[in-house]
């Protein structure tokens, strides 16, 4: 009988050819004409050589199919977003964008959010961009002169936390948590958090272009000098601050983490193709 290979991983399978000494229904028999009523003698058997192949699509473990689910990786999406944001910044503030990056923000409730970061001479802009509708949803402007501390290190959680994440990140602080109200601390939608935490985007290794704009070290290398220059300019006016760059664990103070558990595993913070609805 034909044997079919394993369907694990939706890999291509093929039907094994029958043994040579077992004729099948696909065999083509040919005999010499004019031998009716006589001993036909040994018959010549000609077999049509064929190999049937079957392939199951799509293959969910094939990297291109995974990357195409993210709308940011589709042709022209990131370019359109950056041009839109550059135009908006030029019209509203007159500043020129010095660089842009695609990173993942991790909020104070451990929720992942896809963000575009743009850097000018005076401002760090953190933008939430809808890559499906190609429109900016939210833009947060942080003056570089207000940033007082940058922390780089591994993520750590309270000992009783049920939703922990591995990896490393970057935290940018422009204020202290001393005056941070309890309501803002426990509000998952609060916009008064005096810091922002980032890690690398999951599509970093899609292409060389994304390797550059999703690299956390590249963003840090541009951000630190820009902040220092902004502080120098502020010190001349008597309002200067000193930037602290620390290497230490980054605490994410979540305990139950039910919201982030559901949201992060379903990638709700990304512009993602969710599949068709209906038939």
Residue 150 burial (CB count, 10 A): 19
Mean pLDDT of 225-247: 84
Residue 164 has a pLDDT of 83
What is the value of pTM for the model shown?
A: 0.73
User: Which of 88, 89, 121, 118 lies closest to 103, judged by CA?
Assistant: 118
**Per-residue exposure over 2-39, b if at least 16 CB sit within 10 Å of its own CB, e if not:** eeeeeeeeeeebeeeeeeeeeeeeeeeeeeeeeeeeee
3-state secondary structure 22-82: CCCCCCEEECCCCCCCCCCCCCEEECCCCCCEECCCCCCCCHHHHHCCEHHHCCCHHHHHH
pLDDT at position 145 is: 93
Domains and CATH numbers, the chain: 63-265 (2.30.29.30)
Q: For position 102, what pLDDT does the model report?
A: 98
Q: What is the pLDDT of residue 41?
A: 53
CB neighbours of residue 221 within 10 Å: 10
> Could you give the CA distance from residue 71 to residue 115 in angstroms, rounded to a whole number?
13
DSSP type of residue 146: G
Q: Is the pLDDT of residue 35 over 90?
A: no
Nearest-Å Rg of the Cα atoms of the chain is 30
More confident residue, 55 or 100: 100
At 10-19, the pLDDT tens digits run 444 444 444 4
Query: Is residue 58 pLDDT above 60, yes or no?
Result: no
| pLDDT tens per residue, range 174-191 | 987 676 777 777 777 787
Which residues share a beta bridge with 169? 153
**Residues 231/122, Cβ–Cβ less than 8 Å:** no
Handedness of CA 178, 182, 187, 189 (dihedral sign): negative
Return the pLDDT at 239.
64
């Amino acid at each position: 009988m034909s044997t079919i290979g394993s369907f694990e991983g939706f890999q291509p399978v093929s039907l094994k050819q029958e043994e040579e000494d077992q004729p099948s229904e696909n065999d083509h028999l040919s005999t010499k004409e004019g031998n009716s009523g006589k001993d036909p003698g040994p018959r010549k058997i000609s077999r049509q050589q064929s190999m049937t192949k079957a392939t199951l699509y799509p293959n969910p473990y094939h990297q291109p199919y995974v990357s195409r689910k993210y709308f940011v990786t589709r042709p022209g999406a990131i370019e359109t977003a950056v041009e839109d944001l550059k135009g908006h910044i030029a019209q509203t503030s007159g500043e020129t964008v010095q660089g842009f990056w695609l990173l993942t923000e991790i909020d104070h409730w451990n929720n992942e959010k896809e963000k575009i970061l743009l850097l000018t001479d005076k401002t760090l802009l953190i933008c939430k961009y809808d890559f499906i509708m190609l429109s900016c949803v939210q833009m947060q402007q942080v003056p570089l002169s207000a940033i007082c501390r940058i922390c780089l290190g591994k993520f750590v959680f309270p000992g009783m936390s049920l939703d922990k994440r591995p990896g490393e990140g970057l935290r940018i602080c422009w204020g202290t948590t001393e005056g941070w109200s309890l309501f803002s601390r426990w509000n998952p939608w609060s916009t008064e958090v005096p810091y922002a935490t980032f890690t690398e985007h999951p599509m970093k290794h899609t292409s060389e272009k994304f390797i550059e704009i999703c690299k956390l070290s590249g963003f840090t290398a541009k951000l630190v000098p820009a902040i220092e220059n902004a502080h120098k300019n502020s010190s001349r006016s008597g309002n200067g601050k000193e930037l602290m760059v620390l290497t230490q664990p980054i605490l994410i103070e979540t305990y139950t983490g039910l919201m982030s558990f559901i949201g992060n595993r379903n990638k709700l913070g990304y512009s993602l193709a969710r599949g068709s609805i209906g038939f």
